């Protein structure tokens, strides 16, 4: 039975070779386009997610501002100043905060021998490393003793370290910040990051203990601070608690958003996730329309096949074949043509993705790959298009009048 089915299918396809080739080409090209678009869309999404997480994950950044309303006897227009010690107490004062760090940021002269750069210097604490992914490649990050003893130690971004020391080992060497000697204790890993909320990207920065920064530069109030909730989904509630606590401490209304400007990075990540989901759906729709053209070709060729085999269908119905058998036969033939073209298109797309010099484009579009999700979505689209394309010819074949078919 199966051998007869495939024999009939082969004869139908070979009856008009050019028509068959053109039909299969449409399906192959459509599948090829779907796979490539979804693979590149997924690559871009993963690359952007990696870049976004280069700045941190689930963090909240806050900048003291200026009041715009009166509160408990305080007039509006007053600058809000927050001491780093108050930020250090946030974890114990506001339930739900996992980590917190004050931050001082300013461009300063950083020199080693003849190399000198005016790059961002950041005064931070120990927990900054986990929040901002400033992970050491060599050496270590700032620790508790560095903070407590106000040590003149420095953690360098990898690009700054390379610019200063070139081929030399940076860890253990001295570096001068505004003429003051610091010991390099570590160098950050190379990480993707397309921007920063203040100052330069982390790879160009020098990180020192905030206590050292405050002592050297007489900095009494933070430029900004960072905290990270235990549960990113609870960020809005934690943010409100932070506003209430600091509002009570420094004298501003918790509803005065200009007094404490807050950027919830979790919300930004969620918005980006929705954007890329929409982006991938859009690419999938474009690919579907391309594949749909191939599906129309399959439907057309199968309608012609039904016309050519009308007498055969009539004989089968006359000798007792059930209409659902005829329906299944022609529906299966249409589906196999779609799947055959799909397999070839999928294979060609995989070959192209394997041949692409990924290292030259990874910075811009990530690493396009056929992951399981891309494969599942492609197969699903093929099955839907194949079902739609095969249904009309199959219904027409099954509804054939055997008497008229035998007179054909």
Compute CA distances 277 → 46, 63, 328, whole Å: 11, 31, 37
How many residues appear in the chain? 408
Residue 199 DSSP code: S
> Per the domain annotation, does 263 fall within a domain?
no
Same-domain check for residues 285 and 326: yes
Same-domain check for residues 115 and 189: yes
Same-domain check for residues 139 and 118: yes
> Per the domain annotation, does 265 fall within a domain?
no
Torsion of the alpha carbons at 80, 85, 88 and 92, rounded to the nearest 10: -90
C-beta of residue 219 within 8 angstroms of C-beta of residue 45: no
C-beta of residue 310 within 8 angstroms of C-beta of residue 405: yes
Same-domain check for residues 307 and 392: yes
Classify 256 as helix, strand or coil.
Answer: coil
Per-residue model confidence (pLDDT) at position 84: 96
Same-domain check for residues 237 and 114: yes
Same-domain check for residues 307 and 219: no
C-beta of residue 139 within 8 angstroms of C-beta of residue 187: yes
Structural domain span for residue 32? 2-52+270-407
Domain count for the chain: 2
C-beta of residue 154 within 8 angstroms of C-beta of residue 175: yes
> Per the domain annotation, does 57 fall within a domain?
no
Q: Among 210, 225, 258, identify where a domain stops.
A: 258
For tokens 């930020």, name the residue. 87
Residue 371 DSSP code: -
Pairing of β 174-177 and β 180-188: antiparallel
> Per the domain annotation, does 60 fall within a domain?
no
> Per the domain annotation, does 59 fall within a domain?
no
Same-domain check for residues 247 and 337: no
Q: How far apart are CA 150 and CA 290, in angstroms?
A: 64
- The tens-digit pLDDT sequence of the chain (408 residues) is 566 655 655 665 566 666 667 667 777 887 888 888 888 888 877 777 777 767 888 899 999 999 999 888 888 889 999 999 999 999 999 999 999 999 999 999 999 999 999 999 999 999 999 999 999 999 999 999 999 999 999 999 999 999 999 989 999 999 999 999 999 999 999 988 877 888 899 999 999 999 999 999 999 999 999 999 999 889 999 999 999 999 999 989 999 999 999 999 888 777 777 888 888 788 778 777 777 777 777 777 666 666 666 666 666 666 666 667 766 766 777 777 777 888 888 888 888 888 887 777 666 667 787 777 777 777 777 777 777 766 776 666 666 655 555 555
> Per the domain annotation, does 148 fall within a domain?
yes
> HSE of 366 in the Cβ direction (CA atoms, 13 Å)?
17
| Angular region, 327: left φ>0, alpha ψ -120 to 50, beta rest | alpha
Q: How far apart are CA 110 and CA 163, in angstroms?
A: 11
pTM: 0.72
Per-residue model confidence (pLDDT) at position 282: 82
Q: How far apart are CA 380 and CA 403, in angstroms?
A: 39
226 alpha carbon, distance to own chain's centre: 23
Classify 280 as helix, strand or coil.
Answer: helix
Q: Among 202, 226, 258, identify where a domain stops.
A: 258
Torsion of the alpha carbons at 140, 145, 147 and 149, rounded to the nearest 10: -130
Same-domain check for residues 284 and 353: yes
Same-domain check for residues 274 and 254: no
> Per the domain annotation, does 264 fall within a domain?
no
Neighbouring CB atoms inside 10 A of 110's CB total: 25
Same-domain check for residues 222 and 363: no
Q: Among 258, 278, 300, identify where a domain stops.
A: 258
Same-domain check for residues 90 and 112: yes
Alpha helices in 309-371 (DSSP H): 310-318, 323-355, 358-365
C-beta of residue 38 within 8 angstroms of C-beta of residue 378: yes
> Per the domain annotation, does 324 fall within a domain?
yes
Pairing of β 206-209 and β 153-156: antiparallel
Q: What HEC string does 372-392 produce?
A: HHHHHHHHHHHHHHHHHHHHH
Q: How far apart are CA 75 and CA 65, in angstroms?
A: 14
Same-domain check for residues 187 and 229: yes
């Amino acid at each position: 039975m199966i051998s007869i089915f495939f024999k009939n299918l082969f004869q139908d396809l070979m009856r008009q070779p050019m028509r068959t080739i053109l039909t299969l080409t449409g399906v192959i090209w459509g599948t090829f386009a779907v796979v490539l678009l979804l693979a590149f869309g997924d690559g871009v999404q993963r690359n952007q997610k990696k870049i976004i997480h280069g700045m941190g994950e689930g963090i909240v950044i806050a900048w003291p501002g200026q009041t715009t309303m009166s509160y408990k006897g305080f007039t509006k227009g007053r600058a809000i100043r927050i001491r780093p010690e108050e930020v250090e107490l946030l974890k114990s004062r506001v339930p739900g905060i996992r980590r917190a760090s004050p931050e001082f940021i300013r461009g300063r002269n950083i020199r080693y021998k003849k190399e000198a750069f005016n790059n961002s210097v950041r005064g931070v604490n120990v927990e900054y490393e986990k929040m901002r992914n400033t992970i050491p490649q060599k050496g270590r990050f700032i620790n508790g003793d560095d903070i407590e003893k106000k040590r003149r130690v420095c953690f360098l971004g990898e690009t700054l370290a390379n610019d200063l020391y070139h081929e030399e080992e940076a860890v253990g060497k001295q570096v001068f910040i505004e003429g003051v000697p610091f010991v390099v204790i570590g160098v950050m890993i190379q990480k993707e990051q397309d921007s920063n909320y203040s100052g330069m990207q982390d790879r160009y920065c020098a990180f020192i203990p905030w206590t050292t920064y405050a002592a050297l530069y007489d900095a009494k109030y933070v430029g900004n601070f960072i905290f990270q909730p235990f549960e990113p989904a609870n960020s809005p509630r934690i943010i409100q608690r932070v506003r209430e606590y600091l509002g009570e401490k420094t004298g501003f209304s918790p509803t005065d958003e200009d007094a404490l400007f807050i950027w919830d990075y979790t919300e930004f990540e969620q918005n980006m996730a929705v954007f890329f989901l929409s982006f991938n759906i859009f690419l999938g729709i474009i690919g579907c329309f391309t594949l749909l053209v191939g599906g129309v070709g399959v439907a057309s060729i199968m309608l012609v096949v039904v016309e050519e085999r009308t007498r055969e269908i009539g004989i089968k119905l006359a000798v007792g074949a059930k209409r659902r058998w005829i329906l299944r036969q022609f529906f299966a033939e249409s589906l196999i043509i779609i799947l055959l073209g799909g397999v070839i298109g999928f294979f060609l797309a995989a070959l192209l993705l394997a041949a692409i010099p990924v290292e030259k484009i990874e910075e811009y579009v990530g690493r396009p790959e056929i992951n399981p999700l891309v494969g599942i979505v492609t197969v699903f689209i093929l099955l839907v298009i194949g079902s739609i394309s095969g249904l009309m010819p199959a219904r027409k074949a099954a509804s054939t009048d055997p008497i008229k078919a035998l007179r054909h």
